[in-house]
Structures are given as structure tokens and as C-alpha cells.
Amino acid sequence: EVQLVESGGGLVQPGRSLRLSCAASGFIFDDYVIHWVRQAPGKGLEWVSGISWNGGTVGYADSVKGRFTISRDNAKNSLHLQMNSLRPEDTALYYCAKVNDYGDYIDFWGQGTLVTVSS
């Protein structure tokens, strides 16, 4: 059974940092592109970042470019999102999501970890 379990969320002050993690199981982790997608309270879905199977290709939304860094540890079946210089508008539920076998659409989502940026 495919599982993606996010962790690391919490309450943080503006300007501080937080590191999210996603633990994967039930599939061959290093075969797949993985994304972070977030959802602000009561709002829609926003893609944050994605990483290829070997970490050689990464992408970021303009809203987080230069502040967030995505990485993966295939030996530990884990994905990370280092979030620096956090802003109130980064407050959201952060989902880890895997793509399908051909590397395009998202076919499975974790349950998310909540990040709240507030003083």
C-alpha cells in the first residue's frame, strides 16, 4: 500500500525557518518524481516545488523561489522541504504527492502537515 506521511509542520514566527519531511513507503521511491503542494485555509491548491527521481531536476513556484529548497534522500525513502524566511502567506497545509509511473500527473497524496506562520 502506497503511503506518504508528512511531518515537521507547526507554528513559527515570520522570518524563521522550518523543515518539512515526507516519509514514503509501499513503492519504489527513487523511481518517482515527487511534489510539494500546499493549500491555504479555505483556499485552493498551489504547487510549491517538485524534484526528479535523482534530484537532478528541481522546480519552484515563484512565490517560494529563493526561500524554499526541496531535496530527497532515496536511501531513506524521504523527501524534505527546507523553508526559510517564512511569511504569513506561507500558512497552509503542505501535501507531499507522488506522480504516476510515467512521471507526469499526481496520482497519490499524503494527508498533509500544517504550517502556521504568525507572531
Partner 1 sequence: EIVMTQSPAILSVSPGERITLSCRASQSVSSNLAWYQQKPGLAPRLLIHGASTRATGIPARFSGGGSGTEFTLTISSLQSEDFAVYYCQQYDRWPLTFGGGTKAEIK
- Number of other residues whose CB lies within 10 A of the CB of residue 114: 14
Selected binder of partner 1 within 20, 24, 32, 35 (CB under 8 A): 35
DSSP letter at 31 equals G
Q: Nearest CA to 31 among 60, 61, 54, 57?
A: 54
Rounded to an integer, what distance in angstroms lies between the CA atom of residue 33 and that of residue 36? 11
Q: Is 27 in the site for partner 1 (CB under 8 A)?
A: no
Query: What mask, x for binding partner 1 by CB under 8 A, covers residues 61 to 80?
Result: xx------------------
Tell me the closest approach of the beta carbon of residue 47 to partner 1, in angstroms: 4
- Residue 70's CB: how many other CB atoms inside 10 A? 21
Choosing from 18, 29, 50, 113, the residue that interacts with partner 1 (CB under 8 A) is 50
Q: Does 111 bind partner 1 (CB under 8 A)?
A: yes
Q: Does position 41 bind partner 1 by CB under 8 A? A: no
Give the residue among 71, 69, 33 at the shortest CA–CA distance from 52.
33
Which residues lie near partner 1 (CB under 8 A)?
Answer: 35, 37, 44-47, 50, 59-62, 95, 99-100, 104-112
